[in-house]
Amino acid sequence: MRYRVLAAATGAFLLIAVPAFAFGLSESDYDYLATQNILRDNSILQGLSPKEQARLHAIITDATTSRDPTTQAKNVGQAMATFQEHQNWEQTHTRQLWDSSKR
């Protein structure tokens, strides 16, 4: 009986906690990006770090711009341009990351 309660509690925790730990872009994010002519196989999207994916997801789902498609598209476009700059910098600075601290 005790193990059954423990197993049920663990299962409930995992059911609730796993989505909170998820990162990356959702299907609806990809659907929105497709409306902006940014497809899944876009080289910028393929090179995004988990941190950048989370940032892009937050920009796409931002409640303050959800009713203003022009501003939302502008914000997404600016973010994609910034991500492209990061990737270009990393290509010219081998073995370094754009966001690593300087020593």
Q: Is the pTM value of this prediction over 0.75?
A: no
Residue 20 — pLDDT band, cuts 50, 70, 90? very low
Region 23-27: mean pLDDT is 86
Which DSSP string do the residues of the chain spell out, in sequence order? Answer: -HHHHHHHHHHHHHHHHHHHH--S--HHHHHHHHHTT--TT-HHHHT--HHHHHHHHHHHT-TTTTT-HHHHHHHHHHHHHHHHHHHHHHHHSTT--TTSPP-
pLDDT tens for each residue of 37-76: 999 999 999 999 899 999 999 999 999 998 999 999 999 9
pLDDT, position 30 = 96
Q: What percent of the chain has pLDDT over 90?
A: 59
